[in-house]
Amino acid sequence: MLLHAIWLAALAVAQDQESSQEVVTLTNSASLTGADATPTLSLSDFSASTFPTGTMSGISMNTGGSNGTASITSTSDPLTQIVGGTRTTVVSGNMTASTTTSARPTNTQPCNNYPEFCTRKYSNVTEVCAHNSPFVRKNNAGSNQALGVTQQLNDGIRMLQGQIHYVNGTLFYCHTSCDLLNAGTVEDYLREVTTWVAAHPFDVITIIFGNADYEMKDANGNPLVTSKNYVAPIENSGLKQYIYQPPKTHMTLEDWPTLGELILSGKRVITFIDYNFDTDAVPYMLWEFYNMWETPFSPTDADFPCTLGRPEGLSENQQKSLLYMANHNLNVKVSIAGATLLIPNTIELNVTNGVNGSGSLGSMTNTCISSYDRPPNFLLVDYYNSGPFNGSVFEVAARANNVTYNRKCCGTASSATVLSEPSVAYLGLVIAVVVAVMML
């Protein structure tokens, strides 16, 4: 039984990558009692001097009591689960030990808040996305969230998206115009994200960079702002060390690793850019629309059809092979002096961010499941902290993931009241702000 526990400990850090001969030493601190005992393990039960770059087919060990130490030599047998699985392995020469016992460890360490996610592929999890995550400004027409990015991540947001503009050689998070809402530099925002990522080693997050100035040209007619412009803020913020570089520029559902594999590798941030990608220069920043599709963007239709929005022209089979995002942020179209601006429809948030009913996030998710036999990977919402009850958007995601939502949401009482009761008066105020900006 001890042999089985040690072998399962080895499974906890195996990586399905290229062959290697590196050796890693793990310590199993699980206690076993009884012939059929099922050990309960967490990722924190294992310490490793070096994670293997390959996978393994054999172990050598000493068996000094209930705590064992295993030296693992990586070879070529793919083992990709954090915990679990059965194998036959060679121990100390020609002796063969079968690990077909029914005892099986239970992982207690959550990955993205749920232990069940550790062995799921990145492409088989539904997460809530904060639309225009940086735009947190009370009574501003360009705002899309009420709580800052650290609180967003604390509450369970695992995808961050935002519109970026290039001003005097620097990238800023600005909504429509930096005169309307300037949330600061991309570097400063990413520095805050990096601080959170460093403090949460069992979480995987996704960032979509909205390259709003993709049509700008330099003196030679070439795109002025591409993914190359994002390298400096990414590196200066410290985020680069956590970014996962996929083996392909076009990843299908089957190509993505599990959350556990990403976590154990330390590469726990996935980055996309919507326009002007350059994967030759910046291979870790994928083109969004080569790897993911979206339902209609900036919707004003409260029915929220789960149909293809961007990119155009994908076949149904192609849609079913890629990640996809449900855009569920209801907008109001405001026309002023010939200009048109979309602003969040805050009046309807209790419906839009709801679990049930026409126009709700839950209803759209169910429609998507019926159409594509799987839920969206990302649910993009405004003011995620608002809804018919605290955490309603996370309840929708939990149901899509077939897990139980039991977390506390959202933020603090004082900071969450900014839009907890959106009103017609508020909508009138933000329209007035728009008028003032457009008249400048």
Contact at 8 Å (CB) between 402 and 125? no
Each residue's pLDDT tens digit, 171-191: 999 988 898 899 999 999 999
Sorting pLDDT into bands at 50, 70 and 90, what band is 138? confident
SS3 of 128, please?
A: strand
User: How far is residue 200's CA from residue 112's CA, in Å, rounded to a whole number?
Assistant: 9
Amino acid (one-letter) located at 293: W
Give catalytic residue positions: 131, 175
pLDDT tens figures, 31-48: 333 333 333 334 443 333
Task: Using the predicted structure, report yes or no on whether residue 3 has a pLDDT greater than 70.
Answer: no
CB 351, CB 357: distance < 8 Å: yes
pLDDT attached to residue 338: 67
State mean pLDDT over 132-149: 92
- Residue 440 above 70 pLDDT? no
Q: What is the pLDDT of residue 67?
A: 41
- Phi and psi at residue 318, in whole multiples of 5°? -65, -40
By CB neighbour count within 10 A (0-12 exposed, 13-18 middle, 19+ buried), where does 402 fall?
A: exposed
Residue 198: its pLDDT value, please?
98
* Max avg pLDDT among 27-41, 167-181, 243-257, 333-347: 243-257
Q: What CA–CA distance (Å, rounded) separates 173 from 206?
A: 17
Q: Is the pLDDT of residue 261 over 50?
A: yes
In the CATH scheme, what architecture does the domain 115-438 have?
Alpha-Beta Barrel (3.20)
Q: Which residue has the higher pLDDT, 241 or 138?
A: 241
pLDDT higher than threshold 80 for residue 169: yes
pLDDT band at 142 (very low <50, low <70, confident <90, very high): confident
Helix and strand totals (H; E) in the chain = 12, 19
Residues 222, 225, 227, 232, CA torsion sign: positive
Tally of CB atoms within 10 A around 418 = 21
Average per-residue pLDDT in the chain? Answer: 78
> Residue 134 pLDDT > 50, yes or no?
yes
| Proportion of the chain above pLDDT 90, given as a percent | 61
Give 14's Cβ-side CA count (13 Å radius): 30
Q: Is pLDDT at 399 greater than 70 in this prediction?
A: yes
Residue 241 phi, psi (nearest 5): -65, -20
Confidence of residue 140 (pLDDT cuts 50, 70, 90): confident
Residue 64 confidence class, pLDDT cut points 50, 70, 90: very low
pLDDT category at 412 given cuts 50, 70, 90 is low
* pTM recorded for the entire structure: 0.75
> For residue 216, how many other CB atoms are within 10 A of its CB?
13
The residues spanned by each domain of the chain are: 2-107, 115-438
